Amino acid sequence: MEAKALPLSHFRARAGSPLLLSAEASSAARKGSGAPGRSRTSRYDAGAPPSRAGRGGVWKRDDPEDSPRRTGMTGVPKLNPKFSTKRAGTSKVPIINFEVSHHRAVAAVRLLRADKGKAFVDLLNEKANDSGENEMGYVERTLGFSTRHLDDRDIRLVTVIVAGTVRWKRYIDYLIMSLCSEEKVFSNMEPLLLQILRIGFFEILKLNVPAYAVVDENVRLAKVALRPGAGNMVNAILRKLLLLKETDSLPLPNIEGDDRAQARALSIIYSHPVWMVRRWIRFLGKEEALKLMNWNNSDPYFSLRVNTTNGYTRDDLVNRLEDLQVHYEKSIMDEFVRIREGMQAVLQAGLLKEGMCAVQDESAGFVVSVVDPQPGETIMDCCAAPGGKTLFMASRLAGQGKVSALDINKGRLRILMEAAKCHNLDDIITDIHGDLRLYAKESTVKYDKVLLDAPCSGLGVLSKRADLRWNRQFEDLEELVCLQDELLDSASLLVKPGGVLIYSTCSIDHEENENRVTTFVQRHPEFTPQGVHGYVPAEFITDDGFYSSSPTKHSLDGAFAARLVRSMH
């Protein structure tokens, strides 16, 4: 299911998958970072002032156009031009520091931006969230210097570190606070220093990167980006952590007391918000809740759907994956294969750009099966972007019929139509920019089938949306439920007599799923729920006849779909 887990004002969906990182990969990335030998700092201008004592010696910049930095942040001497690179579209020469670990510097800045809600922890982009020059610009403005541009291995390391650190943030922060001399040391910690510590903790606890590399590189980054004292603090805290890990004496909260206290302890151990833990224990039971949190904390896989419209078969896709030495497994759905590693290779080989396949979870594929597009039908996709289900539905029409793709976000509609052209489906798909609630009131066009893949909490896709668990509050559910009801009412206006309305989400919460269908039918007796038997395998059908996939039961993203048939009168 495409993750329509959004800030409420935008229907934005992202999903992805970090890959396992080996100690050798980290070491190789560190060794390949510029000049050979211990020091990786390039030669300075002849006129540059002498470096201060210490490996992280730096000087304040004099350029009045440079953005202000926080107290304690430092710059580095300007490099000889032959060691500098100009940023595209500007004459400014960035100050590149080869002494720090490039991927850790970028990861620290990305984590800072994610904390402020200005970056998505997206694991699918070819060159990370803000690729190329933009990414380096953020680094320079934040740290006071730039790193060299990241190669493919560095990008993979940033992806793994950022996603994992965000995923385990609550647990990591508990440990950092436990190892600080006083609680106020943690609460008053500079944001950048905290991100550097989080990176170090994640590497030690979850990636098993060699201890010397973690301590050395993160201490150096803190000294250069902040000041020597910050590096000393990182050194002291990371060494405390290593000692506790070696003696198997890491502090953990006791799971005792009333339900609220136990949920609070579990939320730390499994790094989830307390409200989610309490809600899942209440509705799923403790054992199932723990399984779900373990799933959310695991490294997710990608599913690739072959584009049959361009004449490709799953065997064609499998052959390309074998050529790329990407391990795969075939899905229970004919058009899909799964990969756990190698997504960067798939992206860089151009399999998506050439229209051979699309990234789409099977749970989304089953939603399209519930829609059951048939040649000659007219279909409305009410909240279409990013367009995975739109493309899949259009391909099922076999060149006969139309899919109208409506979305409130014009930019994402443009991306959808670019993908449609790539998949040779642009003659089948028509984009409509607008708010469904307004469009439905004004439109006189009725459709055979209307899909409302509604904005939702995204609680079924937390394994792929590492940041989503921290961006959701319990109060959001109440707002989303109201929005879902409004959109359902509007979507129903577009259905022909005898037509079908399909309501779907990427949530596992009954309030957003079954309860929304029940209240909708009460408001609209002209619609009758129809079981999804025959459209999806029996293991995905609930007692009420709805489609539902469960991460813990089916090893798929959590998703829901219901068919509602409109009467002829």
Regarding whether 273 and 219 lie in a shared domain, the answer is no
Counting the structural domains of the chain, the total is 5
Give ∠ CA 487-492-496 in degrees, rounded to 5: 150
Regarding whether 184 and 90 lie in a shared domain, the answer is no
The single residue listed with the structure tokens 């000087």 is 59
Regarding whether 521 and 372 lie in a shared domain, the answer is yes
Question: How far is Cα 563 from Cα 550, in angstroms, rounded to an integer?
Answer: 19
For residue range 321-334, list pLDDT tens digits in order. Answer: 999 999 999 999 99
Q: What is the pLDDT of residue 557?
A: 96
Regarding whether 419 and 323 lie in a shared domain, the answer is no
- Is 207 contained in some domain? yes
DSSP β-bridge partners for residue 357: 306
Residue type at 32? G
Regarding whether 184 and 131 lie in a shared domain, the answer is no
- Residue 420: partners with Cβ closer than 8 Å, 6 or more residues away: 387, 390, 391, 394, 426, 428, 429
Q: What is the pLDDT of residue 140?
A: 87
- Is 53 contained in some domain? no
Q: What is the pLDDT of residue 136?
A: 79
Question: How far is Cα 69 from Cα 468, in angstroms, rounded to an integer?
Answer: 29
Q: What is the pLDDT of residue 489?
A: 98
Question: How far is Cα 364 from Cα 333, in angstroms, rounded to an integer?
Answer: 11
Regarding whether 514 and 367 lie in a shared domain, the answer is yes
The single residue listed with the structure tokens 């899919």 is 403
Q: What is the pLDDT of residue 119?
A: 64
pTM: 0.81
**The domain containing residue 376 runs over which residues?**
8-16+361-566
Residues in binding site for S-adenosyl-L-methionine: 383-389, 407, 435, 453
Residues lower than pLDDT 70 in the chain: 1-94, 118-133
Q: What is the pLDDT of residue 118?
A: 63
* Size (the chain), residues: 569
Regarding whether 352 and 229 lie in a shared domain, the answer is no
Please tell me what DSSP assigns to residue 536: B
- Is 27 contained in some domain? no
For residue range 240-281, list pLDDT tens digits in order. Answer: 999 999 999 999 999 988 999 999 999 999 999 999 999 999
- Is 47 contained in some domain? no
SS3 category, 515: helix
- Is 489 contained in some domain? yes
- Is 469 contained in some domain? yes
SS3 category, 405: strand
Regarding whether 111 and 180 lie in a shared domain, the answer is no
- Is 328 contained in some domain? yes
The single residue listed with the structure tokens 């201490």 is 219
Among all residues, which ones are annotated catalytic?
Answer: 506
Question: How far is Cα 159 from Cα 139, in angstroms, rounded to an integer?
Answer: 16
User: Exposure of 322 by Cβ count < 10 A (0-12 exposed, 13-18 middle, 19+ buried)?
Assistant: exposed
Regarding whether 92 and 151 lie in a shared domain, the answer is yes
Three-state DSSP string of 152-221: HHHHHHHHHHHHHHHHCHHHHHHHHHHHCCCHHHHHCCCHHHHHHHHHHHHHHHHHCCCHHHHHHHHHHH
Regarding whether 488 and 513 lie in a shared domain, the answer is yes
Q: What is the pLDDT of residue 36?
A: 36
User: Exposure of 79 by Cβ count < 10 A (0-12 exposed, 13-18 middle, 19+ buried)?
Assistant: buried
